[in-house]
Structure 1
Amino acid sequence: MYVDFPWHYDGRGATAQTSEDDHVRDLLVQLVLTDPGERVNRPGFGCGLRQLVFAPNSPELAAALQFTMQAAIQRELGDVLTLQGLEVTSEDAALRVTVTYVVLATGRPASVTVEREGLP
């Protein structure tokens, strides 16, 4: 079992645990929501998605983000998942990121979607 993210207590008052598939999903969410340079001793960890909260949304932004995210996912999580697809779309004021992957340890496919709404 793995420690669940975000960290919390379970019904027994102990540290909550989770399955391997959910743990890999948690790792992916942490990577996407961490800015490069934010982690001590891991300055390259992160994708920079949060830095774009106030950036003007555009197809060019989506393309650049897709490129940086794909590199970060393969670099940081390539030992626990196989990236099947990464789609970054820009629609009006919404930026949507959908990551599809296979957990290497279990062979199960999964998907995570993160959406940001901001300035048009």
Structure 2
Amino acid sequence: MNIHFPTLFDASGRTLSAGDDYLYELVEQVLFTSPGERVNLPDFGSGLLQLPFVPNSPELAAATQLTVQGALQKWLSGYLKVIAVETTSVEATLKVTVTYAPLDTGIPQVKTFQHGGNS
């Protein structure tokens, strides 16, 4: 993960990241944080990093998509609308493609996140 620091604040005290990829970084944080990793938010995250160690199956893919989409909607519903989530796991590489629309513009964006392998 590459989150921008130092953290910036807007006039209302909300945190901002430098650059235009703020939402990308928020989605990345939810995807690659495991539940229990954050002290004050023990259910924050998606559990996605456990996937490379589980045998692939159509049922697992469907469950993963629902879990990831639910985590994104739970934690980022004030920032974006999740349109679709697609996950693929090949050997040690996990790829997640998320289609979302920022609430302020409504313009769909497709971003791919990768963990492991040559990420």
Which TM-score applies when normalising by structure 2?
Answer: 0.73
Q: What are the Cα deviations for residues 65-117 of structure 1, in whole angstroms up to 9, with x where unaligned?
A: 11111111111001100111112345x54653211010112333211213456
SS in structure 2 of the partner of residue 105 of structure 1: coil
| Distance across 1 between alignment mates of 2:100 and 2:37 | 25
In structure 1, the partner of 2:12 is none
| C-alpha RMSD over aligned residues | 2.4
Bigger relative contact order (CA 8 A; separation at least 6): 1
Structure with bigger gyration radius: 1
Query: Which digits, 9 at most, give the CA deviation of each residue in 1:27-82, with x for residues without a partner?
Result: 00110000011111111110111122322222222111111111111110011001
Counterpart position of 2:19: 18
Q: Is the contact made by 1:84 and 1:101 (CA closer than 8 Å) also made in structure 2?
A: yes
Alignment of 1:46-61 (within 5 A): 46-61=45-60
Partners of 1:53 and 1:88 lie apart in 2 by 11
Question: Who is 1:38 aligned against?
Answer: 37
Gaps of 5+ in 1: 9-15
Structure 2 match to 1:107: 106
1:85-104 correspondence to structure 2 within 5 Å: 85-89=84-88, 93=91, 95-104=94-103
Partner of 1:79: 78
Q: State the AA in 2 paired with 1:5.
A: I
**Secondary structure, in 3 states, of the residue corresponding to 2:66?**
helix
Percent of aligned positions that are identical: 47
Count of residues paired in the alignment: 105
Runs of 4+ in 1 over 6 A off after TM superposition: none
Aligned partners of 2:34 and 2:47 also within 8 Å? yes
